A = this chain, B = another copy of it.
Amino acid sequence: MERKTPAKKTISEFLNSTVSPVDIEQIIEYLRSKNLKTNKVTVYRIIEHFYKEGIVTRLELGEGKFRYELNRNHHHHLICQKCGKIEDFKDVTIQELEKKIFKQRGFLVKYHSLEFFGICKNCQG
């Protein structure tokens, strides 16, 4: 049966406190800042566990590594190519698209990933 360990609790706490998706290193930094002795293997394993449980979502934003965030309500991302800020964006038209894909192609969509890259409001002009 699953156990509530300090590392798990602290990672959950961190994920709850952040707005942008975080990478493994940020998690490790947070644990260190809380004076928890830690280890990347453990962090990878906890995050993988959260991922398998559906607690977190895994994202790739073109960096060659994964980022994670709490799997609250589904949304997409607006990633600024200048300042790197990641905004959330919610929309329902994709659900329509998924239905269409099934009708037209017989492909049953389980989930999707949608990221928009561009220039945020502050970085324009």
Contacts and interface: CB of A to CB of B under 8 A. Distances in A.
A110 interface: yes
B96 A78 contact: no
B118 A109 contact: yes
Given A98-B116, A101-B116, A114-B113, A107 B78 contact: yes
Contact of A112 (B58, B81, B115): B115
A78 to B, nearest CB: 5
Contacts of A35: none
Interface in A71-125: 78, 80-81, 87, 89, 91, 93, 96-98, 100-101, 105-121, 124
Contacts of A6: none
Give me the 7 closest cross-chain CB pairs, A-B, nearest first.
Answer: A106-B121, A60-B60, A109-B118, A110-B118, A112-B116, A109-B116, A108-B119
6 contacts: A58-B62, A91-B97, A91-B100, A93-B97, A106-B124, A107-B116
